[in-house]
Structure formats: C-alpha cells, structure tokens
Structure 1
Amino acid sequence: MKNNLVFRLVLLVSLIMAFYLGVSAAPVTRTNSSAAKTRKIVLIAGEKSHDAGFHEYIKTVRLLKTMLDQSNVKGIKTEIYLHGWPQNPATLDDADLILFTSDGRDGDLYSEVPFMTPERMPVMEKQIKRGCGLALIHFSTFAPDSIGKKILEWGGGYYDWQDDTGKRNWYSAIKTLDGTINLPASSHPVVNGVKPFKLKDEFYYNIRFREQDSRLKVVAEVPELNGRADKGKATAWAVERTDGGRGFSTTMGHYYANWENPAFRKLMLNGIVWAAKATVPKNGVEAQFYSDQEVTQHLYQKSRKALLFTGNNHPAHPWQETTPLLKAAVEQDSPFWVDVSTNIEDLSQYDLKDYEVLILNYCNWKDSTQLKQKSKTAFTNYLNNGGGLMVIHFADGAFHYSLPEAGNTDWPEYRKIVRRVWDHQSNSAHDNFGKFTVKVTQAPSAITAGIKDFETTDELYFNQKGDEPIKPLLTATSKKTGKEEPLAWVYNYGKGKIFQTLLGHNASSFQAPEMKKMLRNAAVWVAGEDKSKSILK
C-alpha cells in the first residue's frame, strides 16, 4: 500500500513536471508591433530653380515614391507633395518621416527650405516632438544660424552659410568632383548592401555638426574633399534622437542622373527607410531606376505628359480658374497627365524631353521681366525637334512690343511661333463677353472629328495680327464686325505641330463638352504618334 502510494506520488510529480516542461519548451511567438506598423513617408518637393538635370526636386520625389512603392521593403506608405508644402498640413500628423528636397537660402540668393519659415517651423516642431523622422537632401541641408540649434537637434547637421555677424560667409563649402564615396559606419543599416563607390556630384562639406554628438553617425564621406579634421569630409549622416525620431541627411543629389547609379540609389533609399523606422533589409533596399514615362504610369496611370504654363495674365483672365479646367479637359479619358508651372522660365528649368505637349495659358501682362535667352532657346529647340504646342486665348498677346508696361519683352520669334497675335496698339479687339455659336468648318481635321457646332460663353476675338496663312477649324460670327472670325487653326513650326485657339476666357468658356473634346483631340494631334513601349505595370 505504501509502495503504491509512493508510486502514485512519483507519477503525479512526473506528469506535472512533464506538463510544465512541455509548455516551456513550446516555441514562443511574439508580434513585433513596431515592425508590423505601416510606416508613412511624406516626400515634399520645392520649386525648380536650376536648369534641367540639376536640382530636380519634383522628378526626385516622384521617382522616390515609385522606387519605394516597387522596392523589396513592405509595410511603407508614401505620399508626395509639390510646391514645398502640403495643402493640408494635417497629413503630417501621422507621418513617420518627412523628407524635403528643395532650395535653401544662401544669403540673399534663393529661398529658405520650405519648412524654415516662422509659420511652418512650429508645425514641424510638433511633428519632431512626437518622434517623426526628418530627411534633407542636398540644397535642403542649408539653414540659417537662427534655427541652427533646432536643425542640429532634429537632423544632426546643416550647411552653415553665415558667419557670426549673420553675413554670407561660408563655414561650410562646396566642391564638384568625381569622388570616392567611403562608408565609415560599416555596420549601420543605412549602408546595408552598399560598398564604396565612385560618384560625380556637387558635394557640400565642412558641415556644421554638434561637438561630440554621440547620436550621430557619418555614413558617407569623400576623401578627396579638403575638409576639416573632424567630420569635414562627411556627405551623409544619420542621427537617432532622444525623442525616438531619426534623421537622415545628405549633401549629395545635385545631378538627377545619379539616381541611375545603383550604389547611390541604395544608399539613399536605405537612409530614407531607416529614418522612417522601417527595417532596412540585410542587403539593402532593392529598387531599379525608372524612366520618367514609367514614373508617370505608376503614379497617374498615364503614358504621356503635357506641361501647362500659366501664372500671369490680364486681370480679366482668371488663370487660377481656367488652368485647372484646362488641365482636366486635356486629361479626361486621354493618355495625358498635365503638369502645371507658374514660372515661364521653367522652359529651361524643366526637362522638356519629358513632355510631348506644351500648353500656353499665359501672358506677361504688365510684367517687364524679359524671358531669358536660355528659355527662348529651349522653347524653339523643343518645337524644332518635334514637340507639340497648344496656344490658348490671350497667350497670343505675350512677348509683344505693344504690351502695356512690358513692351521691352518683345520677342519677334514668338510671332512666328504664334501665327495670330493680339496687337494692343492696333485694332485687335473682341465682342462683349457672352454667348455665341461656334461653327465647325469643313476643313478635315482629327481635332474637330465628331464635333458639331456648339454654343459657348466666351470672348470672340477679331483682328488678330499675323502674315502667315491659317486654315480655320472653328469660326463664329462677330456682332461687331459681322464677319466669320477664325477661332482655331493648326500649323507647323519646324518639326513641331501647333494648335491655336482664341477661345478660353474664363471658367464658363470650358463648360461645353465640345470644347473639352477639342482640347483633348488637339493634345493628341500636336503630340503625334504615341511611341511609348516599356510601361511600368
């Protein structure tokens, strides 16, 4: 009996031990809530200020979004905003990283990085305090000393262009050269999968850093630079802040073509992913370079692009109203995405090869600023090489010797590009704004195919000046002249196809379905055959 009791006790203890041993030996699965969280990356581009191929802020954020979206890193969400700041800053409230690629102020040259203004600094400070990351690319590393301490805290370093008196007297420096990119922090995630590589760039160096900043790691440096002994050759750095946020900055990024360099691309993408507190893969972020056409397809599901110039006009021509309607008309049910520029000098600052059509909804009314020669050359070269052009309404009055307070901007070649122009010193005029019937002529054209006579509300121009022949596609009867006045026609300039219409005074003028269809047809016609081949799915 006693032995039986002992046996039972031993058996019970054995079962209990086996149970606990079994539980403790079972695999433990923990959910890493930090790793599972989707990381939101906000990419902000400033306005263009340099020639095509340099400081390509808009193209850079679009490319970055496409590369990140298509990369081997999952669990990230990207948003892009142009013109330096989101229309609704509340979108920043849940961002894990805010990246800027933009101009920075250099004394009285250029403008501040978009967030470095009295109105926006508190917004950024709010995001930083909750642990949001900050990334600054190339020119965006410039900062005034007045906010230098905050930039050192948020991002680790900045380009210091001021001396102690506040004058433009660089502490930092710039050098363009073919350099070796060394990676001193070899174990840092930002350099995962990257080996030292060669790169030609406009390197900023002798960056202002805190002394003995234990948070900061230099992740790229160029030995060929004549920098100071302590971090003077640094061209990229990473910082982990005590508030939990991270910063990644680089002085590289002057040439857009450098994104085609796989090592540069991986280093930059690693830095962005790391600063957003996402996991950088062991071999780094893998993403190919995408052409502008592939980027457009990915972002907007369009295969072709047009560039619309606006931003100035006669006070009676509300470009703020007509521009979005013109953009929408060309994009509707068409292969075109339309970018909008409010700076006519973007003729030389944008890469016009990215666009099959230029659209002018612009007149330099009372603006005596002359169009730069390089912009004129870029414009005429674009047309001579086969680029398409659409000229809308009062764009026929631009760059003319008769312009009030702007006669000095006269450009005779513009009168060859635009075959009918408004002469303010002659009898160019229009009927009173109102309704009239637009008649489609018998001239065969793909632009008016399927369009019948229609009613519109507009200004009916007449006595527009020009000697070159035109064959009207649209006409209307003027109440003042009693004649059939031409309202739209097509012709060539060099290899370029041009469509000009005198319609388009205000928002009412873009309401007729026939007007919208004509504009879409015109864009396709002036662009010519769609030669797109490799399109990103």
Structure 2
Amino acid sequence: MDRHFNIIIAVIAFFSCSVFTAQSEVNHKSTNYNNTKAQKKKIVFVAGKDSHGRGEHEFKAGCYLLARLLNESRPDIDAVVTENGWPEDLTIFDGANVIVMYSDGANEHMVIPHLEEVDKLVKKGIGIVAMHYSIEVPKGKAGNYFYNWIGGYFEAYYSVNPFFIPEMVKLPKHQITNGVKPFKIRDEWYYHLRFANTKKITPILSTYPRLTTLLPEENSIRGNNEFVRKDLQDGKIQTMAWAFKRTDGGRSFGFSGGHTHSNWVNDDFRKLILNAIVWTAKLKVPDSGIVTKTPSAAEMEYLLKAPRPPRTTHG
C-alpha cells in the first residue's frame, strides 16, 4: 500500500512541475541558467483582453506559449506575461528590453491611454513588437506614434484584413528569417498597410494578393477601398510583416498574422516570430533560428478561452 501511495505521489509531483502549472513557470524564476537574471534580456508580453471565439484572438494563450518557448530555448532571455490589457502596475516594464503587444486594436487599442508613457520607454531604446490587431490604431496621434515606434500601422479605409493563404515571395536574407522555410498558411493577413517610409522598413513577409481577397463592398472599413484596388491592379507588392531599425537605435517588428491560435503549431510560422522577438531584443539569432519542439495538443489547449454558448434565436 505504501509503495503504491509513493508512486502516486511521485506521478502527481511530476505533472505539477510541468509547463502547464502556473504563471511562475512563464516568469521563469528557476536558477538553472549560468547567466544571472540581471544579464538577461527582459521581454514583456502584454496580452489584450478577451475577444472573439475560442481559437481566435487567443492573446493570453499565445503570449504564454511564446514566452515559455523563449525561456526554454534562450538562457539569455527572461520572458514574462501580463494579462487582460495594459498593466496597472507599470513596474513590470522596469528593466524591459522589449514589449510585445498582442491585443485588439483600433479605437479601443489598449495602448491609446498610455501613448506618452510608452513613447518615453521607446525613446530609451526599448524594442516594440506588435502582432495582429495590435498594429491597428486610429489615424492621427496614435498613428504618428506607431510611425515612430514600428514604422507603420493598419489604417482603416486604407488597409485591409482578409482571410486567405498568401503566396509569399522569397524570404529575404535577415536574422529574422534564419532557419525559416517558406510556408503557406491561412490566417487573417493584414496588408496595404500605412508606412511612414517604405525605404526605412525591411519587408519580411510579402505577397502579391489577388483582387479576390477583397470584400465585394467597394468602400468598407477594413475589406475594400479605392486605394488598395488601384495598387493591386498596378501589381504592387504588399508587406505583411516587417523589421524596423529606429532612429533612436531601437528595433521593432510588425506582424499582421496571428488571428488563428492553431497556426502556432506550424514550425516555420512560430520560428519567424520567435526569431523576430530575439532580433528586436538585439540578441543574435542562430543560423538555424530559434528551434523549438512543435507544441502538443495539450500545450495548444493550455489557457484557451472556454467555448462560448451557442447563439439562440427568438421569434
């Protein structure tokens, strides 16, 4: 009986030490690394509030997954996650080298009430990574900040956000593409983005979208407009992910994909983002890129939103 009891306790202890246990695992407070915590580059993931259905806009689950993979693969990184929008306790940014924003955007973007405080951090050299909807902010004040922070942004009635499988052009030679093989993946890819100066950004993912990726309505907020139609008809290439070296010496990265959580199982899709975060932190990306094990089904399910109840009709 005692022997069986001891085996049960050992099994419980093993699983309680797994990756799924608690946020402290993501905060990576272990001391297994040779580097001290003070020597590590601190990456702060800011996960936006819940939106959309299960498997879409999984900001919390996506941030914890990427943070864990960085902590496991890079002894020179300390990745932490803050949830549910912009943090009230701003001390989380103390010593930060990179802020990763993964959230909803537009007029309700979590950063809009904090533009000035983030700008101060950017001017100190902190890197900025903006993923998916977080690259959309209103034209004007917020858009001008994003010009300076990441080189551009998604502008309503100018940019579009269709779901499609883009035929990517050849990946450029860049640390962000190290070890990344060409991939095709369906996502909500934003394009026809508004850049301050296209000569100052480095396109990482680019494509020539077809007119059929646009919505039939010819003047919709995010689906179709006269500007994008003309550029597609003229055969202009469209950037969907880009690197940006700022004039203050900092680095930034913009990525328009990331709507669909299941895409993180694609090794090259995932590697591209991990490489980009490491590059933004001014760390060297190995020639093979940031190699991580393909997440298991259990890892992908961890922290997903609960399924929403089905809609009911009345009358």
TM-score normalised by the chain length of structure 2: 0.74
- Structure 1 residues 230 and 95 mapped into 2: Cα distance closer, same or farther (>3 Å)? farther
| d(CA) in 1 for partners of 2:40, 2:81 | 17
Q: Among residues 40, 43, 52, which one is paired with 1:41 in the alignment?
A: 43
DSSP 3-state at the match of 2:293: coil
Matched-pair contact (CA < 8 Å) for 1:104–1:142 = yes
Q: CA deviation at 1:295?
A: 7.6
Q: Deviations over 1:350-390 (max 9, x none)?
A: 244xxxxxxxxxxxxxxxxxxxxxx4339xxxxxxxxxxxx
| d(CA) in 1 for partners of 2:281, 2:235 | 28
Residues 1:182 and 2:169 aligned together = yes
Aligned residue for 2:110? 114
- Structure 1 residues 376 and 294 mapped into 2: Cα distance closer, same or farther (>3 Å)? closer
Aligned residue for 1:125? 119
**Structure with larger Rg:** 1
| d(CA) in 1 for partners of 2:75, 2:197 | 37
Between Structure 1 and Structure 2, which shows a larger proportion of helix residues? 2
- The runs of 5 or more residues in structure 2 that have no matched partner are 1-37, 212-227
Q: Deviations over 1:449-479 (max 9, x none)?
A: xxxxxxxxxxxxxxxxxxxxxxxxxxxxxxx
Q: Among residues 46, 54, 57, which one is paired with 1:55 in the alignment?
A: 57
Q: CA deviation at 1:115?
A: 1.2
DSSP 3-state at the match of 2:309: helix
Q: CA deviation at 1:223?
A: 2.7
Aligned residue for 1:99? 100
Letter of the structure 2 residue corresponding to residue 199 of structure 1: I
Aligned residue for 2:222? none
Between Structure 1 and Structure 2, which shows a larger proportion of strand residues? 1
Identity across the alignment (%)? 34
DSSP 3-state at the match of 1:350: coil
In the comparison of the two structures, how many residue pairs are matched? 256
| d(CA) in 1 for partners of 2:309, 2:178 | 46
- Structure 1 residues 80 and 295 mapped into 2: Cα distance closer, same or farther (>3 Å)? farther
Q: Deviations over 1:387-440 (max 9, x none)?
A: xxxxxxxxxxxxxxxxxxxxxxxxxxxxxxxxxxxxxxxxxxxxxxxxxxxxxx
DSSP 3-state at the match of 2:166: strand
Residues 1:221 and 2:206 aligned together = yes
DSSP 3-state at the match of 2:112: coil
Matched-pair contact (CA < 8 Å) for 1:155–1:248 = yes
Matched-pair contact (CA < 8 Å) for 2:128–2:253 = yes
DSSP 3-state at the match of 1:269: helix
Matched-pair contact (CA < 8 Å) for 1:221–1:235 = yes
- Structure 1 residues 225 and 152 mapped into 2: Cα distance closer, same or farther (>3 Å)? farther
Letter of the structure 2 residue corresponding to residue 92 of structure 1: F
- Structure 1 residues 159 and 232 mapped into 2: Cα distance closer, same or farther (>3 Å)? farther
- The runs of 5 or more residues in structure 1 that have no matched partner are 1-35, 106-110, 162-169, 297-304, 306-338, 340-348, 353-374, 379-537
Aligned residue for 1:154? 149
Aligned residue for 1:350? 305
Matched-pair contact (CA < 8 Å) for 1:205–1:232 = no
Residues 1:137 and 2:131 aligned together = yes
Aligned residue for 1:254? 259
Aligned residue for 1:273? 278
| d(CA) in 2 for partners of 1:85, 1:251 | 20
Q: Among residues 169, 178, 193, which one is paired with 1:207 in the alignment?
A: 193
| d(CA) in 1 for partners of 2:40, 2:246 | 21
Q: Among residues 272, 288, 295, which one is paired with 2:293 in the alignment?
A: 288
Aligned residue for 2:32? none
Q: Deviations over 1:327-355 (max 9, x none)?
A: xxxxxxxxxxxx8xxxxxxxxx9244xxx
Aligned residue for 1:416? none
